[in-house]
Every structure is written in structure tokens, then in C-alpha cells.
Homo-oligomer: A and B are copies of this chain.
């Protein structure tokens, strides 16, 4: 089959590789119908994620059709049309028993396209199929569903639920990439009074606005603290989400939160940040971090089927499955291409 293979920093190829085979009785082989590229894949290609080794097939977000199931798999069978979640869970370790599948200590967690071959391929082996595959409801498009493989549960669990968004809140989201925009979308489920999105790119601010942000701003041109204080009687935001992953934006978040408020970090960080405890110690703030557990995926599928959320505006570019090299080119230059999420589908 063909797959997108990582060959060390800056090297990738869409090339012929052996078909995947069942290796454990909990495995499932899936034929990939729709797949997307994540910002994390670009990090891997920069060499930032050293546990990904030369020869690994990338990708952890897909929709597919079940081809073959291991003997211990009970919840899907060949022919089923399924969402392939970015997170797998063994179901029995300490963390899985608390539905923290992202922290699974027995081979689950984020494995696809990371510690094992991923889904940017014609076929993929998915471990622990019972807990990482989800039957797709009727009437849901592959393109919409694939947004639930990672970015919607990530923004919902790590951003909105950790942030504790409530009706009437003022919510600030720093970063309007795909994750930040998905956070706008899922925060709206709780009817905040006001969502403020901060991003330097005009196209992303426009996207935020069209998806439902009430106020957008470029922190290099406007004083974010003043804007947020003017909206909150000088107190700061109830909830602030970090959706970039660099020290400066994390520090901005802790400056924008009100006393008693919450900062939910969603961004993937590669360097330490400064935490201003000399002002924060007295402010009753809560700061959370997290990898998605995908414990919300069944609920998000229900919301998608019932049209309470519509992730399709996040998809800016569409390709055939064999156009992976082009898709990466477009996705890796968002400033030029305006790319948010690109979706590749089997023709």
C-alpha cells in the first residue's frame, strides 16, 4: 500500500510500504477513507519529537472502514464505518479505569503516528479497537467526522471542560489555529457572554469571527489587557485558553485571567515559561494542562449528529489520498495558503 512515511527531520515521502497486519487480538485493520494533518505532524517533521523514528507512518486523525478485527474485538466488525480516534486505551490500567485514556500506561494513549505507524496511509492498524474506534452516526460526513479524531475533543476537554466555561462568562482564547477555532466552537456550547480571540493573523481572526468569536484582536497592535479589562469591569477574563504553545502566550494568559478564574493550557510546549507567582499567589487562579482523553468523543458525535456543532468551516483545503505531498505543502505554509485543516479522501 501507499503511506506518508517520516524519514528523519524534514524528510517525508508518499511511498509503497507493506500492508499492516493484526498484531494483537485487540487490533483492528482499517481502510482509510478520510484523513487530516495535525500541527503536531509538522513538529515531528522538524525533529522536535525524537521518539518518532525513521520509517514511521505519520497521522493520528482518520475516518475509515473496518477491514479485519482481532479475536478480542467486540464492538466493531468488518464493513463498519468508524472514526479513528487519536487516543487508544487499554481499558484496564489505573488511568483507563478513570477514563484518562490519554495517560494509559499499557500501550494506549497517543500511539498512532507516534510510537507506532499512523493513519496517513491506505490502511492502518489501530490498537485497542474497542476503545479507539467509534461507529459513525447516520448523516455525518467523513469530512466533519474526522475533525472529532483530535481537535474537537482536545479543545473541548482540555480547553472548555478544564476551563469550566459557564453561561455568561467572558472567555479569552489565545491562538486561532485549528485548535483555537475548535475551542471557540465548543466553548459556545456553554453560552458564554463573550469570546475574545487573540491572534496575529488577519485570516485566522476572520475565521474566528465567522465561527462565533465576539471580539478578535492582534496583541501586537492592541493592548490585550486593556481590551479584556474594558469588557470585564477591570477584573479580567473568567476563563483563558492557551492554544499556541510558546512561553509568551502562556504568560499572556496568566495576565488576562480574573481573580478566581481559570487558565486552560491546550498548546503543545517545547520550552519552559515564567509563572508570575508574585502576583498570582493571591489571585485564586487555577491552571490546567492536559492531553486529550477522548472521553467526550461519544458526546461530541451526538452533538455532531444532532447538528449542535458543525466543524466543516475548519476545513479549508481538500485533496485526494494520493496528494499527500501537496497537502503537506499547503498545510505547512498557512500564512500564504490560509490553511486551517486539510482533508484527504479516498477517491
Contact = CB atoms under 8 A, between A and B. Distances in A.
Interface stretch (A6-14, A175-183, A289-297): A289-297
B284 A71 contact: no
Nearest to A285: B289
Q: Count copies of this chain in the complex.
A: 4
Given A103-B259, A269-B278, A287-B286, A193 B91 contact: no
Interface residues of A, number: 67
A260 B103 contact: yes
Interface in A79-130: 90-92, 94-95, 97-100, 102-103, 106, 130
Contacts of A190: 167, 189-191
Contacts of A206: none
A17 interface: no
Contacts of A168: 299-300, 302-303, 306, 308
A281 B265 contact: yes
A290 B298 contact: no
5 contacts: A91-B130, A97-B131, A103-B283, A271-B278, A284-B289
A277 to B, nearest CB: 4
Interface in A271-326: 271-278, 280-291, 295, 298-300, 302-303, 306, 308
Contacts of A282: 102, 268, 289-291
B71 A92 contact: no
A20 interface: no
List 3 tightest A-B contacts by C-beta distance, closest first. A72-B72, A269-B277, A193-B306
A180 B102 CA distance: 33
A286 B284 contact: no
